[in-house]
């Protein structure tokens, strides 16, 4: 019953996804137990006027608690936080979440690069960064930042992803990133990946 395991040394999971995100996340998040021992921060590219969709949608499917991130709240283990529409989401060194309305990155706010770079700064080797399906290069430089800081980068296999541009860009920018199907990514979050 108690499956509340995560890879050794991991302290934070960050996920970025764009076109096809809902399908892909549905293959991953519901697989995680209610007491999953890490916070999970997610950026999905969505239009700025779509208020509060993602958290209720996934709360209905997931055992973990799912919320839209609020400014300066502590990022807690066992909770999935979605970046709110029209704000960047960042994580501070003390684990609190920050929002910003700085300009768009790759035409996107929230931006995956902004989240991933802040995670690399704050948690270094303790970060697992995951790039899923998407049609633009957001997340590539953030993935590189995570890898450079000693963290782990997993990428949805471009061959089976709904949109391959984002996984391909991440793999190209980040030599140590590993491509794998969605089911394997979910598995990797639960225990040590087979190398």
Partner 1 sequence: MSDLIEDIEIRLLLEALHQRYHYDFRNYAQASIRRRLRQARDQLGFANFSALQEALLHDEAMLPRLLAYLTVQVSEMFRDPSYFRAIREKVVPHLRTFPSLKIWIAGCSTGEELYSFVILFREEGLEQRTLFYATDISQDALDAAARGIYSLDRMRTFTENHRAAGGKSSLSEYYRTAYGNAVLDQGLRDKVVFSDHSLVTDAVFGEMHLISCRNVLIYFNRDLQDRAIGLFRDSLGRKGFLGLGSKENIRFSSHADGFSDFARQDKIYQRREA
Give me the residues that bind partner 1 (CB under 8 A), please.
69-73, 84, 87-88, 90-93, 96, 98-103, 114, 117-118, 120-125, 149
Angle, CA of 128, 132 and 138, to the nearest 5°:
90
Q: How far apart are CA 133 and CA 75, in angstroms?
A: 25
- Which lies closer to partner 1 via its Cβ, residue 32 or residue 128? 128
Q: 140, 168 in Cβ contact below 8 A?
A: no
Minimum CB separation of residue 118 from partner 1 in Å reads: 4
Of the residues 88, 118, 138, 141, only one is catalytic, namely 138
Helix and strand tally (H, E) in the chain?
A: 6, 9
Minimum CB separation of residue 87 from partner 1 in Å reads: 6
Q: How far is CA 104 from the centre of its chain?
A: 18
Place of tokens 């006027």: 49
Proportion of the chain in helix, strand, coil states, percent, rounded to 5:
30, 25, 50
- Which lies closer to partner 1 via its Cβ, residue 48 or residue 61? 48
- Which lies closer to partner 1 via its Cβ, residue 97 or residue 173? 97
- Which lies closer to partner 1 via its Cβ, residue 91 or residue 174? 91
DSSP 8-state code for residue 193: P
Task: Examine the residue annotation and report whether 138 is marked as an active-site residue of this protein.
Answer: yes
Task: Examine the residue annotation and report whether 18 is marked as an active-site residue of this protein.
Answer: yes
Catalytic residue set: 18, 45, 138
């Amino acid at each position: 019953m108690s499956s509340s395991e995560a890879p050794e040394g991991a302290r934070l999971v960050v996920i970025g996804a764009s076109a096809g995100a809902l399908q892909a996340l549905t293959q991953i998040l519901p697989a995680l137990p209610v007491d999953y021992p890490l916070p999970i921060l997610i950026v999905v590219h969505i239009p700025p006027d779509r208020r509060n969709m993602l958290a209720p949608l996934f709360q209905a499917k997931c055992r973990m608690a799912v919320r839209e991130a609020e400014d300066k709240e502590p990022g807690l283990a066992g909770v999935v936080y979605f970046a709110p529409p029209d704000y960047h989401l960042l994580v501070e060194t003390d684990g609190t979440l920050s929002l910003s309305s700085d300009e768009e990155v790759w035409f996107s706010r929230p931006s995956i690069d902004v989240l991933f770079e802040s995670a690399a700064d704050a948690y270094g080797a303790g970060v697992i960064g995951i790039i899923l399906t998407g049609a633009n290069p957001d997340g590539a430089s953030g993935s590189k930042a995570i890898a450079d800081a000693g963290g782990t980068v997993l990428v949805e296999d471009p061959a089976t992803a709904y949109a391959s541009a984002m996984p391909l860009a991440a793999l190209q920018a980040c030599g140590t990133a590993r491509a794998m199907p969605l089911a394997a990514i979910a598995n990797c979050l639960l225990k040590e990946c087979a190398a």
